[in-house]
Amino acid sequence: MNSIKLLSLWVVFVLTSNLLKSTPNQLSQTNLDSLAPISHSFFLAGPSFTGIIDESGQVMWDAGRPGARDGFVLPNSNILICWSNEVIEFDLDKKVLFRYEVSKLNHELGTAQRLANGNTLITELGENPRLLEVNIDGNIVVNVPLVPETENAHMQTRMARKLANGNYLVPHLLAFKVKEYKPNGEVVQVFRTDLPELGGREAENWPFTAIRLENGNTLINLTHGNKVIEVDERGSIVWKMGNDDVEGDPFQDPCGGQRLPNGNTVIASYGTKGAIKLFEVTQNKEIIWSYNGPFNVHHFQILTTNGKPLEGNPLK
């Protein structure tokens, strides 16, 4: 890897780490809508590439292995990546610092998230679908059984996330439900994605990404349904966007999603055969940025915007 690019990447992550340690009152979010053109750097987990793309659209860091499902660039600049058979944490020199391999109980892994307590949240899919917290030594310290309502391992769940209240938000594709689980496995909330106003089950609104927002709402990407919705605490739809709202049909199997600090939403068009692989939309349903490079995107993390690291923990 080019040493200058490596140094630049290091500086970006040091800045990000310092920002995350600051108090909210010390930070100010630029009105990104007023800046043109917008450019983002981002981590990309996709079928043909896993790594980091810089703001010019060029490869900045390559994991050397495609097919990742989930991943985070951590505040310390390390990179946590989930493939179907293992979760690995690398440093920028690709030294392995953490590894978890799928257990013999199941067939594949679906997601990975580094938690504030230092554990790593991982989902296993198969005969015994479960959500795990694994400590730095690779030991399972939390084991939550999941109820995906299907034996199709690949379609049981995707992007699970731990919530601030200690519960877990888990999308179940073929159940057409996002479920909130307590650590003991009790389901305390269900958001349905087969609602009549969304076209029922015939619309195949499979929930893939579920993100709990700061206002208590939940942002959900619906893959085969080709739309993204935001629901309130009762599950009522408060915002929705799909191909009916914009020209060019950019919603093509929208898997990964991220809500930015400015209120915009970035969406991965995983199944596209067109130019747009990743795009940013406003609350007014306008596309204001897109990645048109060679790599399709399964999931991602926006890292910088116009040279500035994003503030706070990524909502993805």
Give the number of domains in the chain: 1
- The reply to whether 72 falls in a domain is yes
pLDDT in the model for residue 13: 47
- The reply to whether 315 falls in a domain is no
- 119-124: Cβ within 8 A, 24+ apart: 120/80, 120/87, 120/89, 121/160, 121/161, 121/162, 121/168, 122/82, 122/87, 123/157, 123/158, 123/160, 123/170
pLDDT digits (tens, 9 = 90+) for 160-188: 999 999 999 999 999 999 999 999 999 99
- The reply to whether 83 falls in a domain is yes
- Joined together, the tokens standing for residue 35 give 């800046």
- The reply to whether 30 falls in a domain is no
Asked if residues 72 and 41 have their Cβ atoms less than 8 Å apart, the reply is no
pLDDT in the model for residue 24: 37
107 by DSSP, 3-state: which?
A: strand
Q: Tokens 């130019």 correspond to what residue?
A: 275
- The reply to whether 246 falls in a domain is yes
In which residue ranges of the chain is pLDDT below 50?
1-8, 10-35
pLDDT in the model for residue 36: 54
pLDDT in the model for residue 202: 96
Contacts of 49 (CB under 8 A, 6+ apart): 59, 62, 66, 294, 295
- The reply to whether 28 falls in a domain is no
pLDDT in the model for residue 35: 43
For residue 225, the enclosing domain spans 3-22+37-309
CATH of the domain at 207: 2.120.10.30
pLDDT in the model for residue 85: 97
| Longest Cα separation, the chain | 54
- Joined together, the tokens standing for residue 316 give 């993805």
- The reply to whether 245 falls in a domain is yes
